Amino acid sequence: MSGRSWRLLDILENTSRFFASKGLENARLQAELLLAAVLGVKRLDLYLQFERPLHSSEVDRYREYVRQRLQRVPVQYITGVAAFRQLELTVTPAVLIPRPETEVLVDVALELLPESGRVLDLCCGSGAVALSLAQEAAAAEVVAADVSAAALEVAKANGQRCGLAERVEWHCGDLFAPFCGTEPFDLIAANPPYVRHDDLAQLAPEVRDYEPHLALDGGEDGLAYYRRIAQEAADFIRPGGYLLLEVGDGQGAAVEDLLAQSERLTEVQIRPDLNKIPRVVVARAATQTS
């Protein structure tokens, strides 16, 4: 990219060829997302202004974004935003970038949560799940928690950004610690860290080098948090209420077993994601028998 003046379409084509030559996937899409962010327009609106000449300050900013992307910084950290369901969320390296699979966790929660139910998003990160529930289940009482104070700052800012600040109660603490002695939940949903510790080094550089390991590292076998949640969750769910856990590829059966081992959880089942991969393990808190 030289100092000459650029037409929008030319810089896009040039950059997507460049990204592709460096082995980046979805090269054209990524070039478009970064340019749309520089110009402050929606990606599809780029198509209405292909002839637009770019100002040198826009080109400079775009070059900086392209440089970061070549360092494998995820597009969402470069632009500072990520799309999740109907929301546009702020993301920083303090939070995991919300994944499309996690939208299924929200679908299942919306299906099982009573209309004005009390719901907890455990390990809330950017607040994607809690804020979607607040938006899409208008009468729900939404609570969210994360162990990372830095993540909670981002989540709270997202509450403001989405006009949902009053709808979610945020807590900082280790799993259920903030909820000892509080009213039980009708439903708890969590996307806990689930990557096997030794697999972290093999993740894509975008994830391995930039996303928070605190949100990824699931211990030696990737199941450390599921084990704790399986033991503790029933104390915080009203009898008959639900526990929903997102799982990584291939973890469904193991997490199903963990939950089935708990005498206080019942009706364990697995829901698939849009690619038909088992993604959300569901269990109910047993109604007291003794």
Contacts with ligand GLN by CB under 6 A lie at 96, 99, 191, 193-195, 203, 207, 216
Instruction: For the CB of residue 97, give the shortest distance to ligand GLN in the complex, in Å.
Output: 9
Instruction: For the CB of residue 101, give the shortest distance to ligand GLN in the complex, in Å.
Output: 7
3-state secondary structure of 269: strand
Nearer to ligand GLN, 117 or 125 (CB): 125
Q: What is the DSSP letter of 251?
A: -
Instruction: For the CB of residue 99, give the shortest distance to ligand GLN in the complex, in Å.
Output: 5
Alpha helix stretches (DSSP H) within 71-166:
75-79, 102-112, 128-136, 149-161
Nearer to ligand GLN, 9 or 147 (CB): 147
Residue 138 identity: A
Q: Please give the torsion angle defined by the CA atoms of residues 50, 52, 57 and 63, in that order, rounded to the nearest 10 degrees.
A: 20
Alpha helix stretches (DSSP H) within the chain:
8-21, 27-39, 56-70, 75-79, 102-112, 128-136, 149-161, 205-210, 224-232, 252-261
Instruction: For the CB of residue 152, give the shortest distance to ligand GLN in the complex, in Å.
Output: 17
Cβ 37 vs Cβ 78: under 8 Å: yes
Cβ 139 vs Cβ 115: under 8 Å: yes
Nearer to ligand GLN, 20 or 214 (CB): 214
Alpha-carbon span 188 to 230, nearest angstrom: 12
Alpha-carbon span 195 to 110, nearest angstrom: 26
Nearer to ligand GLN, 27 or 245 (CB): 245
Instruction: For the CB of residue 19, give the shortest distance to ligand GLN in the complex, in Å.
Output: 21
The residue with its CB nearest to ligand GLN is 194
Nearer to ligand GLN, 186 or 217 (CB): 217
Nearer to ligand GLN, 117 or 193 (CB): 193
